[in-house]
Amino acid sequence: MASATRWEPVIGLEVHAQLLSRSKLFCGCSAAYGAAPNTNVCPVCLGLPGALPAPNGGAVELAIRAGLALGCTVQLESRFARKNYFYPDMAKGYQISQYELPLDTDGAIEIDVDGVTRRVGIERVHLEEDAAKNLHGSGGGRTTVVDFNRAGVPLVEIVSRPDMRSAAETEAYLRKIREILMFAGVNDGNLEEGSFRCDANVSLRPVGDERLGTRTELKNINSFRFVRMAIESEIVRQEAVLAGGGAVVQETRGWNEASGTTVAMRTKEEAHDYRYFPDPDLPPLVVSEARVSAVREALPELPDARRARWQRELGLTAYDAQVLSSHPRVADYFDAAATALVSAWGEGAKPDAGKKAANFVQSEILGDVSIDGLEARFPVPAEGVAELLGLVRDGTINSKMAKDVLARMRASGRSARAVVDEGGLAQVTDAAEIERVVREVVEASPKQVDQYRAGQTKVLGYFVGQVMKATKGTANPQIVNELLRKVLS
Ligand code: ADP
Ligand code: MG
Ligand code: ZN
């Protein structure tokens, strides 16, 4: 009996990411999202005849930065090309993109799935302008209106090699690309607003085969979950086609959320022949070696490097490092808190400072951070966390009191030291003073004293609670415990 063919999924991704440039790619119009329709427009981005595009140096710089962050080689000379097609959102009849000579080539990133690290190649990263946006059904009934605010907004398209082998790997790749672009400060990673979006190319081939099978392209999937679900369902669909002796048709498919399946949108026969050619309005895009070096020098520390440094120098676990690098501003915040602690406690205290800052930021701060794109707002400044942890370390307050102090810092905007002084929250370590309270509590609780002496030592917790209550939480817990044992025995 012939064994059934086993199929290997092969996936390659095209990611479109909007560059964080204030103006559009070939004109001075604002690239901001959310303005009233058709207010950020001019003859260039409306595609009026005779208007001449002029490249935006800031956007080019961000595209160089994106390429370097993704391990690419930056080409000192690249070209803009016209991609010709007709669509109401493309008034010129072509999109300015890059084709044969893209800006960035041949990069790679590493992804981790189930503890296995794999490299995914990046074929190229090229600059292109976004199209306008068709708003179907708005303006009442069955009309479509076009908002040109998005026309000409600068994008990079990141084209991977067909190196992914599962939906999980693809999701990991997409998350990693988003994270790198956000840490590099070139994109805000907003899937809902469409400033970060992807198309997935999926094919199957017999396991062991080198040649690529026929692919379908899954368009416009706007969440990580849907990317994963769409690819999983597409793999199952193609397997069924092939197992039934059929052939996969090269086509574009969309994700149908309601049915949880992919559906055909257009086949290869209808596919466009874009007739790319170099844009005669734009000279070759030339960048100097010196400019590329300057961008490389100024590249922020990327997430993998940061996590590795935290694990190596601050003794963080891989898990803690992952959580604390969930957003570039969170990573900056943790770094600032840890740095302030190390400078206060000395180099030798690095692992202690790292662990304390990591625990505190995760348990007390992260739940109250509000994130908006690349921005984040924190309940208290990172230096405040360092100051607070300093007060715990030198015994001014105990760690339980630290939460109370934090809440007061948040409400008042004042420093940890000021809050402790004004609230009389400093820890009492004077044994004589604590012993006085301990004796009062013991005298007031004869029943519990009998229980304790009869061997029910867990009532000690009751006594500790009473003493802490009487001292408003300021008594040093260790001294309280010692004195209670002494007085009770
Ligand atoms: P196009 O722009 O027409 O979609 P590209 O050559 O730019 O074509 O390829 C786009 C993406 O498709 C790349 O990420 C590439 O890795 C991926 N790809 C190409 N062929 C296959 C295939 N047979 N199976 C899976 N992915 C593929
Ligand atoms: Mg494609
Ligand atoms: Zn314009």
Phi (first) and psi of residue 10, to 5 degrees: -130, 125
- Quote the pLDDT of residue 138: 75
Q: How far apart are the C-alpha atoms of 291 and 287, rounded to whole Å?
A: 7
Over pLDDT 70: what percentage of the chain? 98
231 C-beta closer than 6 A to ligand 1: no
Ligand nearest to the CA of 215: 1
C-alpha 433/C-alpha 436 separation (Å) is: 5
Predicted local confidence at residue 142, as pLDDT: 82
The reply to whether the predicted model has a pTM over 0.85 is yes
**CA 144 – ligand 1 centroid, Å:** 31
CA of 151 from ligand 3 middle (Å) equals 8
Å from CA of 294 to ligand 1 middle: 33
Q: Which atom of ligand 1 approaches the CA of 202 most closely?
A: 25
Closest Cα to atom 5 of ligand 1: 159
Least trusted range by pLDDT, from 196-200, 209-213, 273-277, 296-300: 273-277
Best residue for ligand 1 mutational test, from 215, 249, 273 (most atoms within 8 Å of Cβ)? 215
Closest atom of ligand 1 relative to the 203 alpha carbon: 24
Distance from the alpha carbon of residue 251 to the mean position of ligand 2, in angstroms: 10
Quick check: 429 pLDDT over 90?
A: no
pLDDT in tens, 203-256: 999 999 999 999 999 997 889 999 999 999 999 999 999 999 999 999 999 999
Find out whether the beta carbon of 11 lies less than 6 Å from any atom of ligand 1: yes
Banded pLDDT at 139 (limits 50, 70, 90): low
The ligand whose atoms approach the alpha carbon of 162 most closely is: 1
Q: What is the position in ligand 1's atom list of the atom closest to the CA of 212?
A: 23
Measured from the alpha carbon of residue 42, the closest ligand is 3
Distance from the CA of 127 to the center of ligand 3, in angstroms? Answer: 17
Q: Is the Cβ–Cβ distance between 266 and 250 less than 8 Å? A: no
Please name which ligand lies nearest the alpha carbon of 268: 1
pLDDT confidence of 197, banded at 50, 70, 90? very high
| pLDDT surpassing 90 at residue 200 | yes
Q: What residue owns the CA closest to ligand 1's atom 14? A: 12
| Residue 70 CB-half CA count within 13 A | 36
Q: Write out the chain in H/E/C secondary structure.
A: CCCCCCEEEEEEEEEEEECCCCECCCCCCECCCCCCCCCCCCHHHHCCCCCCCCCCHHHHHHHHHHHHHCCCEECCEECCEEEECCECCECCCEEEECCCCCCEEEEEEEEEECCEEEEEEEEEEEEEECCCEEEECCCCCCCEEEEHHHCCCEEEEEEECCCECCHHHHHHHHHHHHHHHHHCCCCCCCCCCCCEEEEEEEEEEECCCCCCCCCEEEEEECCHHHHHHHHHHHHHHHHHHHHCCCCCCCEEEEEECCCCEEEEEEEHHHCCCCCCEECCCCCCEECCHHHHHHHHHCCCCCHHHHHHHHHHHHCCCHHHHHHHCCCHHHHHHHHHHHHHHHHHHCHHHHHHHHHHHHHHHHHHHHHHCEEECCEEECCCCHHHHHHHHHHHHCCCCCHHHHHHHHHHHHHHCCCHHHHHHHHCCCCECCHHHHHHHHHHHHHHCHHHHHHHHCCCHHHHHHHHHHHHHHCCCCECHHHHHHHHHHHHC
Ranking 37-51, 80-94, 133-147, 409-423 by mean pLDDT, the lowest is 133-147
Residue 402 · residue 388 · CB < 8 Å: yes
- Bridge-based pairing of strands 196-206 and 216-221 is antiparallel
Instruction: For Cα atoms 196, 199, 200, give the angle at the middle one, nearest 5 degrees.
Output: 130
CA of 203 to the centre of ligand 2 (A): 13
pLDDT given for residue 84 in this prediction: 94
At 273 the pLDDT is 84
Identity at 151, one-letter amino acid code: A
**Which of 120, 126, 158, 159 best tests ligand 1's pocket when mutated (most atoms within 8 Å of CB)?**
159
- For the chain, give the percent of residues with pLDDT over 90: 84
Give yes or no for residue 247 CB within 6 A of ligand 1.
no
Which residue's CA lies nearest to atom 17 of ligand 1? 12
Whether 2 shows a pLDDT value over 80: the answer reads no
Residues of 40-69 as b/e, b for ≥16 C-beta within 10 angstroms?
Answer: bbeebbbbeeeeebebbeebbbbbbbbbbb
Dist. CA 98 → ligand 3 center (Å): 20
Mean pLDDT of 294-312: 97
Q: Which amino acid is it at 440?
A: E
Buried b / exposed e along 345-365 (16+ C-beta atoms within 10 A): beeeebeebbbbbbebbbebb
Compute the distance from residue 14 Cα to the ligand 2 centre, in Å: 7
Summarised one tens digit per residue, pLDDT across range 447-477 is 999 999 999 989 999 999 999 999 888 888 8
pLDDT, averaged across the chain: 94
pLDDT, residue 220, reads 79
Nearest CA to ligand 1 atom 13: 12
**162 CA to middle of ligand 1, Å?**
7
Backbone angles phi, psi at 119, to 5 degrees: -95, 135
> Could you report the per-residue pLDDT of 319-330, keeping only the tens digit for each?
999 999 999 999
Does ligand 1 come within 6 angstroms of the Cβ of 12?
Answer: yes
Q: Please check whether residue 249 is in contact with residue 52, taking contact to mean a CB–CB distance below 8 angstroms.
A: no
Mean pLDDT to the nearest integer, 431-454: 92
The amino acid occupying position 105 is T
CA distance 378 to 390: 19
CA of 32 to the centre of ligand 3 (A): 12
Q: Is 218 in the pocket of ligand 1 (CB under 6 A)?
A: no
Indicate which atom in ligand 1 lies nearest the CA of residue 161. Answer: 16
Between CA 32 and CA 22 the distance in angstroms is 7
Q: Which atom of ligand 1 is nearest to the CA of 160?
A: 14
Distance 9 CA to ligand 1 centre (A): 13
Please work out whether the CB of residue 162 comes within 6 Å of at least one atom of ligand 1: yes
Q: What is the band of 1 on the pLDDT scale with cuts at 50, 70, 90?
A: very low
Would you place residue 144 in the very low, low, confident or very high pLDDT band (cuts 50, 70, 90)?
confident
Residue 161 Cα to ligand 1 middle (Å): 7
Query: 249, 188 in Cβ contact below 8 A?
Result: no
Selected residue with higher pLDDT from 430 and 359: 359
Specify the pLDDT at position 221.
85
Average pLDDT for 79-85: 96
Give the mean model confidence (pLDDT) for residues 28-38: 94
Confirm or reject: Cβ of 356 under 6 Å from ligand 1.
no
